[in-house]
């Protein structure tokens, strides 16, 4: 059977009939423009002039010395406009939405980074923007919620279910079904029905393309390993994609183990998930025997998702990428470590990747190199980390 | 009874088929059974046995909340099958159609699921998150077990309607308006145009659902096709009256029946 949008058996288009024509329309537009020189030229113009690309590949010399193993490079997606990799994808999708004549943009957000990026680009292109955010995430990330409002978006605090990212996606999908004729759903990760997983990957692959070029210039060779955090998995897909063909490059995704993968409080989909069909895709999910989706937990609102993009499920299955689980404690420790050592405060999401890299770097030799995708900056997480460490900030 | 036969029986009498939906297990299986008995007694021809899902993306707030409430009470698919099996001992004529999200079937095991459909007397399934393109996920097993895989068409389906209708089984579920389930005070769909396309393609009975809140709307909508589907309005009554709901559900279903028979 020849089905579209598959990565092995993963992927597909498992959405209600009501949105299928919109999904097909989007797929046609994506196919039409993905290699269109004019579209790509415009996209790269905004990458460069608005989003501050290419992002730096920074040699973390102090960290390298301290860890005593492979050379550490940080791919500084945190230096992008809006402070995370999310804007790469949003620029692509909104330029597509513009060509499709859509004027209303909706998005879901976990930590708020995708919501902020969407609100930002919607402001730039004069589009109406509604962002769905779990009520619990609004509390954890109130600064980002307010940022979105400053940017002119409407933030809807989702009260249903577990009041986190998955529920925000449910609500965004319901909005999409209700306003399908006018609305473009800007999904923030490599998930959902086809074409989203491929399209979002294609808009994020600039990360690995730049990294490869920068490594060539700075090291004269490929990195030995690329590490990125994985919730839905967009920064990781972007950081991995151009290296998939280079078999010598180890690809490592860091999932959120929360309070530990052997507790109920984690979001480690690859470690503990099973095959399922949800949010438009066949992939791996944290679910019970009845197929009910599990509530998940991570200190990081951006990794707090019970599924994973289908291409990651596939890369895992064929053994091309490895996935490790990082606890809250490890992530917070890495957050503090990078702040002190390099003067860079990473997002708590990205701190999972830093922690995973810190495990392997000392075991590698000095002529090897590791690239850590620093997917976002950590200003938004300072309050949460303080609270985790028992420090009361007089913020609220 | 086979879905087609259920429709044909009404058609022969010049009547419309009444389809009602329930979230199984809400306020316990016994309450669900009582409510199904009440609906059948009041003249419902097909019962949509809703299987609650943690994340029902096609549902409005009424069914979302009932689903959560039911799951919190410990409802399981195996429990629902048991309930249906027991009901089948006493209810022979009515068609039972299970409405559930694809992950529930997938995780349960497709073969095992359809074996149980046969064992418990389920005549069809409606899977709201399985579009035409993905129906092979269950079609082989459904066909092999003689269980109808009911397809949906919507006001946004346009040129997809012909292909969907051509392969539709049991009845064609015509979604009245864009959006999620839930009652609506008015409709904006151009029904004449919508059903015109549908009738050109459909070889099987058509029923309309989504947003039908009461007898008047049921009557109005029934003129366009062979049956009407009422869900959220009934679920709302059950949420409101809990274990005391069967009497209310009977009265409401009766009012629907009377309205479409007028």
Q: What tokens were used for B136? A: 């092979």
Model pLDDT for residues B222-251, shown as the tens digit of each residue: 999 999 999 999 999 999 999 999 999 999
Who among A13, A170, A173 is closest to B133 (CB)? Answer: A13
Average pLDDT value for residue range B134-155: 97
A375 is catalytic: yes
- One-letter-per-residue 3-state SS of A88-131: HHHHHHHHHHHHCCCCEEEEEECCCHHHHHHHHHHHHCCCEEEE
CB proximity A180 to B under 8 Å: yes
Q: Which residues of B fall within a CB distance of 8 Å from A161?
A: 54-55, 68
A178 near B CB under 8 A: yes
Tokens 């992530």 -> residue: A331
Chain A residues near residue B68 by CB distance under 8 angstroms: 161
> Taking CB atoms and an 8 Å limit, are A161 and B61 in contact across chains?
no
Q: Do B54 and A173 touch (CB under 8 A)?
A: no
Tens of pLDDT, residue by residue over B47-82, are 999 999 999 999 999 999 999 999 999 999 999 999
Contacts of B153 in chain A (CB under 8 A): 17
| Listed residue (A93, A86, A97, A94) closest to A51, CA to CA | A86
Q: Which residues of chain B have a CB within 8 Å of the CB of A289? A: 107
Measured between beta carbons, which residues in chain B are less than 8 angstroms from residue A279? 55, 57
Contact A254, A350 (CB under 8 A): no
Which chain B positions have a beta carbon within 8 Å of A293's beta carbon? 54-55, 103
**How many Cα neighbours within 13 Å face the side chain of A117?**
32
Which chain B residue has its CA at the smallest distance from A22's CA? B156
Residue A156: strand pairing partners: A132
Per-residue pLDDT tens, chain A, 396 aa: give them: 347 899 999 999 999 999 999 999 999 999 999 999 999 999 999 999 999 999 999 999 999 999 999 999 999 999 999 999 999 999 999 999 999 999 999 999 988 999 999 999 999 999 999 999 999 999 888 889 999 999 999 999 999 988 999 999 999 999 999 998 899 999 999 999 999 999 999 999 999 999 999 999 999 999 999 999 999 999 999 999 999 999 999 999 999 999 999 999 999 999 999 999 999 999 999 999 999 999 999 999 889 999 999 999 999 999 999 999 999 999 999 999 999 999 999 999 999 999 999 999 999 999 999 999 999 999 999 999 999 999 988 755
Residues of chain B with C-beta less than 8 angstroms from the C-beta of A306: none
Torsion of CA A22, A28, A29, A30, to 10 degrees: 110
Instruction: Give the Cα separation of A5 and B164 in Å (integer).
Output: 21
**Shortest Cα distance from A18 to chain B (angstroms)?**
6
* Calculated CA dihedral for residues B156, B160, B166, B168, nearest 10 degrees: -50
Secondary structure of chain B as H, E, C letters: CCHHHHHHHHHHCCCCEEEEEEECCCCHHHHHHHHHHHHHHCCCCEEEEECCCCCCCCCCHHHHHHHHHHHHCCCCHHHHHHHHHHHHHHCCCCEEEEECCHHHHHHHCHHHHHHHHHHHCCCEEECCCCCHHHCHHHHHHHHHCCCEEECEECCCCHHHHHHHHHCCCCCEEEECCCCCCCCCCCCCCCHHHHHHHHHHHCCCCEEEECCCCCHHHHHHHHCCCCEEEECHHHHHHHHHHHHHHHHHHHHHHHHHHHHHHC
pLDDT reported for residue A73 = 98
Q: Would you call A108 a catalytic residue per the annotation? A: yes
Query: Tokens for A215?
Result: 């490594």
Distance from CA of A138 to the nearest CA of B (A): 20
Whether the CB of B108 is below 8 Å from some CB of chain A: the reply is yes
Phi-psi region of A258 (alpha: psi -120 to 50; beta: other; left: phi over 0): left
Closest approach of chain A CAs to the CA of B78, in angstroms? 9
pLDDT of res. A395? 55
Which one, of B110, B200, B201, lies nearest residue B149 by Cα? Answer: B110
- Of A14, A275, A290, Cβ closest to residue B77: A290
Judge: A161–B68 Cβ closer than 8 Å, yes or no: yes
Work out the minimum CA distance from B71 to partner chain A, whole angstroms: 9
- Chains A, B: CB pairs < 8 Å: 116
Long-range (24+ apart) CB contacts under 8 A made by A2-7 are A3/B133, A3/B134, A4/A194, A4/B133, A5/A193, A5/A194, A5/A195, A5/A197, A5/A198, A6/A194, A6/A310, A7/A197, A7/A310, A7/A311, A7/A313, A7/A314, A7/A315
Choosing from A77, A108, A255, A342, the catalytic residue is: A108
Could you give the C-alpha distances from B201 to B163, B165, B196, in angstroms and in order? 8, 6, 9
pTM: 0.96
pLDDT tens-digit series, residues A92-121: 999 999 999 999 999 999 889 999 999 999
Cα–Cα distance, B4 to A383 (Å, whole number): 61
The predicted pLDDT at position A141 comes to 85
- Cα A109–A111–A115 angle (5° rounding)? 40
CA distance A11 to chain B (A): 11
Q: List the catalytic residue out of A189, A298, A350, A375.
A: A375
* Known catalytic membership, residue A86: yes
* Inter-chain CB proximity B55 and A14 less than 8 Å: no
The pLDDT value given to residue A111: 84
Residues of A in contact with B53 (CB under 8 A): 291-292
- For residue B193, the Cα-to-chain-centroid distance in whole angstroms is 24
Distance from CA of B31 to the nearest CA of A (A): 22
DSSP code string of A204-259: HTHHHHHHHHHHHHHTSS--SEEEEE-SS-HHHHHHHGGGTT-TTSEEEEEEEEET
Measure CB to CB from residue A293 to each of B55, B132, B164 and give the nearest one. Answer: B55
Residues of A in contact with B112 (CB under 8 A): none
Other CB atoms within 10 Å distance of the CB of residue B13:
9
* A2 vs B: CB within 8 A: no
- Chain B: residue whose CA lies nearest to A181: B156
Inter-axis angle of helices B232-241 and B61-72, to 10 degrees? 50
E-strand spans in chain A?
6-7, 10-14, 57-59, 71-76, 104-109, 128-134, 154-158, 183-185, 225-229, 250-258, 274-278, 280-285, 321-327, 369-374
Q: Determine the residue of chain B that is closest to A285 in CA distance.
A: B103
Nearest Cα residue in chain A from B160: A21
What does residue B66 show for φ and ψ, rounded to 5 degrees?
-65, -40
Q: Strand, coil or helix: what is A139? A: helix
A12 touches chain B (CB under 8 A): yes
Q: What is the C-alpha to C-alpha distance for residues A46 and A51, in angstroms, rounded to an integer?
A: 6
Q: Is B49 on the interface with A (CB under 8 A)?
A: no
- 3-state secondary structure (DSSP) of residue A284: strand
CA distance B233 to chain A (A): 19
- The chain B residue lying nearest A295, using CA atoms, is B54
How far is the CA of B96 from the CAs of A316, B7, B73, in angstroms? 41, 13, 23
Across the interface, whether the CB atoms of B180 and A279 are under 8 A apart is answered no
Residues of B in contact with A16 (CB under 8 A): 57-58, 128-129, 131, 152
* Among the partner residues B104, B134, B154, nearest to A12 by beta-carbon distance: B134
Structural contact between residues B239 and B64, judged by C-beta atoms closer than 8 angstroms:
no
Q: Within 10 A of A48 (CB to CB), how many other CB atoms are there?
A: 11
pLDDT at B194 over 90: yes
Catalytic residue, chosen from A71, A75, A86, A282, is A86
Q: B225: closest CA among B6, B4, B7, B2?
A: B7
- Least CB–CB distance from B131: residue in A20, A170, A181: A20
């Amino acid at each position: 059977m020849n089905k579209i949008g598959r990565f092995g058996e993963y992927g597909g288009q498992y959405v209600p009939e009501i949105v299928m024509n919109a999904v097909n329309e989007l797929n046609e537009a994506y196919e039409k423009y993905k290699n269109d020189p004019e579209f790509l030229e415009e996209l790269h113009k905004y990458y460069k002039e608005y989003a501050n690309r290419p992002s730096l590949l920074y040699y973390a010399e102090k960290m390298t010395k301290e860890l005593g193993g492979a050379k550490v490079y940080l791919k500084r997606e945190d230096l992008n406009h809006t402070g995370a990799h999310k804007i790469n994808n949003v620029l692509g999708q909104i330029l597509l939405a513009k060509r499709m004549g859509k004027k209303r943009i909706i998005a879901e957000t976990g930590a708020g980074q995708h919501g902020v990026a969407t609100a930002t680009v919607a402001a730039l292109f004069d589009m109406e923007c509604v962002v769905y955010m779990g009520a619990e995430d609004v509390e954890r990330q109130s600064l980002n919620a307010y940022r979105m409002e400053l940017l002119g978006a409407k933030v809807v605090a989702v009260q249903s279910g577990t009041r986190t990212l998955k529920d925000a996606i449910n609500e965004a999908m319901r909005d999409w079904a209700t306003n399908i004729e006018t609305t473009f759903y800007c999904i923030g990760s490599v998930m959902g029905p086809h074409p989203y997983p491929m399209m979002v990957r294609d808009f994020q692959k600039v990360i690995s393309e730049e990294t490869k070029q920068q490594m060539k210039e700075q090291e004269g060779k490929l990195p030995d390993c690329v590490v990125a955090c994985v919730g839905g998995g967009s920064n990781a897909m972007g950081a991995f994609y151009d290296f998939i063909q280079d078999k010598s490059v180890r690809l490592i995704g860091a999932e959120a183990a929360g309070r530990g993968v052997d507790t109920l409080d984690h979001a480690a989909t690859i470690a503990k998930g099973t095959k399922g069909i949800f949010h438009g895709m066949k992939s791996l999910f944290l679910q019970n025997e009845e197929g009910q989706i599990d509530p998940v937990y991570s200190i990081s609102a951006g990794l707090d998702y019970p599924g994973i993009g289908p291409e990651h499920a596939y890369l895992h299955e064929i053994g091309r990428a490895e996935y490790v689980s990082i606890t809250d404690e490890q992530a917070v420790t890495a957050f503090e470590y990078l702040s002190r050592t390099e003067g860079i405060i990473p997002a708590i999401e990205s701190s999972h990747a830093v922690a995973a890299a810190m495990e392997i770097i000392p075991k590698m030799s000095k002529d090897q190199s590791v690239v850590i995708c620093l997917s976002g900056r950590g200003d938004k997480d300072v309050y949460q980390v303080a609270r985790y460490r028992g420090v009361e900030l007089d913020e609220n | 009874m086979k879905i087609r036969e259920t429709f044909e029986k009404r058609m022969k009498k010049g009547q419309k088929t009444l389809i009602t939906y329930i979230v199984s297990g809400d306020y316990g299986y016994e309450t669900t059974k009582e409510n199904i008995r009440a609906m059948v007694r009041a003249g419902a021809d097909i019962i949509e046995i809703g299987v609650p899902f943690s994340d029902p993306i096609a549902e409005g707030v009424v069914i979302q909340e009932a689903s959560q409430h039911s799951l919190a009470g410990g409802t399981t698919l195996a429990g629902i099958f048991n309930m249906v099996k027991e009901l089948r001992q006493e209810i022979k004529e009515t068609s039972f159609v299970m409405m559930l999200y694809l992950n529930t079937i997938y995780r349960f095991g497709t073969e095992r699921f359809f074996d149980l459909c046969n064992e418990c007397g389920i005549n069809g399934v409606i899977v709201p998150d399985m579009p035409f393109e993905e129906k092979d996920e269950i079609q082989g097993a459904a066909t092999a077990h003689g269980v109808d895989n009911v397809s949906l068409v919507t006001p946004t389906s346009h040129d997809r309607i012909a292909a969907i209708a051509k392969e539709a089984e049991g009845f064609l579920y015509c979604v009245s308006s864009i959006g999620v389930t839930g009652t609506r005070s008015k409709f904006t769909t151009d029904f004449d145009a919508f059903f015109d396309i549908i009738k050109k393609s459909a070889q099987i009975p058509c029923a309309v659902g989504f947003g039908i809140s009461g007898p008047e709307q049921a009557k109005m909508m029934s003129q366009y096709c062979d049956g009407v589907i009422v869900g959220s309005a009934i679920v709302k009554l059950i949420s409101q009256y809990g274990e005391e709901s069967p009497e209310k559900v009977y009265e409401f279903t009766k009012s629907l029946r009377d309205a479409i028979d007028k």
